[in-house]
Amino acid sequence: MSLKCKDLISIATLSPDEILLVLETADSFKEVSGRDIKKVPALRGKTVVNFFFEPSTRTRTSFELAAKRLSADVINFSPSSSSVVKGETLLDTARNVEAMQADIIVLRHQAAGAAETLARGVKSSVINAGDGWHEHPTQALLDLYTLREKKREFRGLRVAIVGDLAHSRVARSNIHALTKLGAEVRAAGPPTMMPACLDRLGVKVYYNLDEALRGVDVIMMLRLQLERQGRALFPSIREYSQLYGLTAERLKLAEPGALVMHPGPVNRGVEIAPEVADSFASVILDQVANGVAVRMAVLYLLSGAA
C-alpha cells in the first residue's frame, strides 16, 4: 500500500489506513536514528527543499535530519536572502527551485492555504509543515506515533486538548486524526480561544479545565499563539495560567498513567508547570525524537521509493 496523494497538505484528506501506513513505515525508520551511522540510502539521488517562511527550530531541524538520514540532498531556503525580498511570489520561487530538479518541497508559511496553492502549481510533492491556523499534519502524525507507542490503541482513548484552539493548526490536525481513529476528544480553553465549529468535528467543548481533565488518558497542552492573536483574548497571562495551566494537582484529575504532551515551544509556568513538563508523565521529548522517524516515513512514501 502507498499514499494515494502526491502531497501531504492535511490530515483531513487521509484515510485511517493511510494514517496507520505512515505510522507503520515510521516503525522501520526509528531504529536508524539509534545506529552509529544514522543513514540509509532510501532517498539517494532525491532533492528535498525546505521552505520555511516562519521561525522554526523543531520542525525545520526534524525535516532536515529526516531527509539527510534517508541520504537525500537537502536545500534550506531562507526567504530573507532570496528573491522573495525583491517581490517574487512564492509560486514563482518554488517553480524556479523545481526547475533545478527538486523532488519534494517542505513548506511552512504564515498563510492558511499556502501549501495547497503551492501543491497545485508545481509537479514536485509538497509537504505542509504548518500553514497559518490551518493544519500541521506531520505534528499530528508524530503525536499519534507517540500515543501508539505508549498506549497501543486509539479507539476509546480520551484525549483533552487544552489552550488556544482557535489559532492552533496542531489542534486542528490532531482533532481530525484522533476522531478518525476512534478516540474521544475534549477541547478545553477560554471561550475566546474556541473556534465555533468544534462540535461539528465530534469534539466535546469545556470551559472549565478541571472538568475536562477528569478521567482522560492524554492531555495535549497548546502554546499560547500570542503572535497570531490580533487582540487580547484574556485579561492577563497570570489569569490564563491560573485557569488553564496544567499543574501537578490538576494532573491528578486524569487517569493514573495519563500522558502529557506539548508541540513546543513550551512556555513554562504559563501553559504547563515546570514540574509537570519534567515529570514521568511528560512525553514531550519523545514527541521530538519520534518526529524524525515520522518525517522520514512521509518523505519516503511521497518520494515514490515505496
Catalytic hit among 58, 68, 95, 150:
58
Catalytic hit among 4, 86, 155, 200:
86
Catalytic hit among 136, 158, 176, 295:
136
Which DSSP string corresponds to the chain?
---S-S-B--STTS-HHHHHHHHHHHHHHHGGGGSSS---STTTT-EEEEEESS--SHHHHHHHHHHHHTT-EEEEE-GGGSGGGGT--HHHHHHHHHHTT--EEEEEESSTTHHHHHHHH-SSEEEEEEETTTB-HHHHHHHHHHHHHHHS--TT-EEEEES-GGG-HHHHHHHHHHHHTT-EEEEES-GGGS-TTGGGGTEEEES-HHHHHTT-SEEEE----GGG-SS-SSS-HHHHHHHH-B-HHHHTTSPTT-EEE--S---BTTTB-HHHHTSTTB-HHHHHHHHHHHHHHHHHHHHT--
186 given a catalytic annotation: no
158 given a catalytic annotation: no
39 given a catalytic annotation: no
47 given a catalytic annotation: no
Catalytic hit among 59, 117, 138, 146:
59
Catalytic hit among 60, 69, 108, 134:
108
138 given a catalytic annotation: no
Task: Provide the annotated active-site residues.
Answer: 58-59, 86, 108, 136
